[in-house]
Amino acid sequence: MKHSYLTSINKQFDYYKRLGDKTFEQLNLSELQREFKTDSNSIAIIVMHISGNMLSRWTDFLISDGEKPWRQRDLEFEDCFNSKADIIDAWEQGWNCLFNVIQSLSIEDLERIVYIRNQGHTVTEAINRQMMHYAYHIGQIVFLGKLIKGSDWVSLSIPKGHSSSYNKEKFNTIKSRQHFTDDL
């Protein structure tokens, strides 16, 4: 279990990152910054928040509290991006910080205790907490992208009406042990 967990979480985080990447590819700057209602979060704001969270949580992950004193969380909900490239740079900076830590972890690290706002977590619990947090927000990003693009949206999963053909293709292959993202 422990050996497969580290491999699995790396692939799972990569999957969520790719969902965001594929959403950004379909949108321009004004679409990324679109707010549907006053005080709602645009995709750009969600990216700012995710990136700020990642930098805080994963910087010095094993040795300092995950809520860094330098983090300005409230400012993460103000869009200060001037270009799509700025949004992508913030996104990549957060993910690079996360992946550098995840790839450096050993099996022995999984039961170590780390803190987030003085609340102790095993490394495994902290990873799971962050993965679910990012999945929640990336789901928002994808949903907003789909709303913005409407009928021009290119599906990131099995498109409506194609489940049968997708399943047929899958069941026509030989059973194998793999992560569900291996053939995406």
Distance CA 128, CA 146 (A): 27
**Amino acid making up residue 101:** V
Q: At 114, give phi and psi (nearest 5°).
A: -125, 160
Tell me the H-state helices in 150-175.
163-171
Residue 114: DSSP 8-state = E
pLDDT at residue 152, rounded to an integer:
97
pLDDT at residue 184, rounded to an integer:
66
Q: At 152, give phi and psi (nearest 5°).
A: -85, -5
pLDDT at residue 54, rounded to an integer:
98
Distance CA 111, CA 29 (A): 42
Greatest alpha-carbon span in the chain: 54
pLDDT at residue 164, rounded to an integer:
92
Domain extent listing, the chain: 2-158
Q: Distance of CA 48 to CAs 62, 99, 105, 135, 169, Å?
A: 24, 18, 26, 15, 39
Q: Could you tell me how many residues make up the chain? A: 184
pLDDT at residue 142, rounded to an integer:
98
Token code pair at residue 80: 């200060």
Distance CA 145, CA 23 (A): 6
Q: For the chain, 184 residues long, give each residue's pLDDT as a single digit of tens.
A: 557 899 999 999 999 999 999 999 999 999 999 999 988 999 999 999 999 999 999 999 999 999 999 999 999 999 999 999 999 999 999 999 999 999 999 999 999 999 999 999 999 999 999 999 999 999 999 999 999 999 999 999 988 888 999 888 888 888 888 778 776 6
Contacts of residue 101, defined as CB under 8 A and 6 or more positions apart, other chains included, come to 58, 61
- Domain 2-158 matching CATH 1.10.10.10: the answer reads no
**Amino acid making up residue 170:** K
